[in-house]
Structure 1
Amino acid sequence: MTTDRKGAMSPEEIVAGQLAAYNRRDLEEFLGYYVEDVPVFGFPSGNELADRSGPAFRGRYERLFADSPGLHAELLSRAVHGNVVIDHERVSGFRDDDTARFAVAIYQVGPERIEKVWFVD
């Protein structure tokens, strides 16, 4: 993600960019789409997931990308409402496990980056 373009990107473009960086396992680009110390919550509980939030966010994805060379998230559907983007994904290649998992992520996007994330429990 280029720094001079971030502010001109829509919430949907920001979320799409982080998904593309995730699929390339490009940690620095992926992290560039999030505010520093992004909070991550469970939905509907609303509890912050300490092992996924803030400082733990970088480490979690650094390990995941290193341990999962076949990691890939396929976008099944996306809903956009203002600055909220909801993705339904089919994710495969976790640590060389071919079993696909389904994930729903809700992103609250600020002017330049993703500011909060909820993962559906």
Structure 2
Amino acid sequence: MTRSAEDIVKGQLNAYNARDVDRFLSFWAEDAEIYSHPQTLLAKGHRAIRERHLIRFQEPDLYARLISRSVIGNTVIDTESVTRNFPEGVRLVDVVGIYEIEDETIKRAWFITGTPKEP
């Protein structure tokens, strides 16, 4: 069964919100790359992505709420409002995620992250 680009990004978002790192990684290519847009590499490969997200998944209020999703071929663009925990307290962060799908996995993703603000 072939998974659509939208299904892949939806699945990884659901796994992110469940803080299930193994399920989350199942949607990413072994050599996937995560960037801060436009070209700052944040993580490459499952090991680095796992380490990055194990830390993130410890945040008790972590939750990404999908605002909108656009699909153009093998590219999925999500706009989200992410609840995060910071030293100064719970904050909302506007995030745009651009996911490039290859062989039914996320090969590359770029994130544009807004300034944390009070809920």
Normalised to the residue count of structure 2, the TM-score between the two structures is 0.84
Partner of 1:22: 16
Q: Distance in 1 between matches of 2:112 and 2:84?
A: 20
Higher strand share: 2
The answer as to whether partners of 2:84 and 2:93 remain within 8 angstroms in 1 is no
Query: What residue number does 1:112 align with?
Result: 104
State the one-letter code of the partner of 2:91: T
Q: 5+ residue gaps in structure 2? A: 114-119
The alignment covers a number of residue pairs equal to 111
Higher share of residues assigned helix: 1
Name the structure 2 match of 1:47.
40
Distance in 2 separating the partners of 1:102 and 1:53 = 23
Structure 1 runs of 4+ aligned residues shifted over 4 Å read none
Aligned to 1:59: 51
Q: Secondary structure at the match of 2:54?
A: helix
**1:53 Cα deviation after fit:** 2.6
- TM-score when normalising by structure 1: 0.83
Deviates more, 1:78-87 or 1:91-100: 91-100
Shift in Å at residue 112 of structure 1?
A: 1.6
Alignment of 1:67-82 (within 5 A): 67-82=58-73
Give, as a single letter, the amino acid of the residue that structure 2 aligns with 1:116.
R
State the Cα RMSD in Å.
Answer: 1.7
State the percentage of identical aligned residues: 40
Instruction: Indicate the SS of the match to 2:11.
Output: helix
